[in-house]
Amino acid sequence: MSVRLRLMGMGLVLFVATVFAYARNMPWHWLTCTALGFSWLGDAMLLRYPPIVGRTRDPFTLGMGAFALAQVAYVVAFAWSLSAMPGLHTKVPGMLLGKDLIGSLLPVFLLFGVLCWVLLVFRTQQGRAVKVAVLLYGELLCAMAAYATAAAFTGVNLVWSLPLGGILFIISDGVIAAHTFQGRFANEKRYEIIVWATYVPAQLLLLLGMSLLH
């Protein structure tokens, strides 16, 4: 699949999210659009799309920075939904509140992020600045997945697409880290298929889950 076609596909996802946000007009829906916008920019950087990359010397780092901003937008969106959902949806017999779960979920996800960083990045020959940047991004990613999982328990029904989207996002970026820092994939085409087969569903599942938070 060509770079332009991939970016057009993710641009279409952003357009759908924007239309939905306009229809629902909830703050977390607009933040989802912001996250998808930064994700599109990160995609363009990582795919080295000429009109975006230009003469940039290190598109990988800039792409990671764009995705870091996307994760921040997602975290704020999920946190906002946890605190602002209507009282009608916050107490269901036998169900924990999402905001009651985040205190337990967040440390577990963050510890998992540190473990992955140690296994995939820490012992490589990369410079200290790169290692720290990857660690910070990984923690933001895992925080996003933790908040997504907690938000799934905010409403009357479990929004299963949120934790699944968060986990797929972690898998996709984990594959990128394994390939970039350890060269785990000799077949470039297979590597790209795995990344996009997890990344695109992750974004779609997060968008679907956010559409159910109202």
Q: What is the model's pTM?
A: 0.91
Amino acid at site 112: F
Q: To 10 degrees, the CA torsion angle through 21, 24, 27, 28?
A: -70
Q: Which long-range contacts (CB under 8 A, 24 or more apart) does 90-98 make?
A: 90/154, 92/156, 95/153, 96/153, 97/153, 97/154, 98/150, 98/151, 98/152, 98/153, 98/154
Query: For residues 126 and 139, what is the distance between their CA atoms, to the nearest angstrom?
Result: 18
The tens place of each residue's pLDDT in the chain, 214 residues long, gives 688 899 999 999 999 999 989 988 888 899 999 999 999 999 999 999 988 888 888 889 999 999 999 999 999 999 988 877 655 455 555 455 777 788 889 999 999 999 999 999 988 888 899 999 999 999 999 999 999 999 888 766 788 999 999 999 999 999 999 999 988 787 888 999 999 999 999 999 999 998 887 6
The residue ranges of every structural domain in the chain are 3-211
**How many other C-beta atoms are found inside a 10 Å radius of the C-beta of residue 57?**
7
- Predicted local distance difference test score (pLDDT) of residue 93: 53
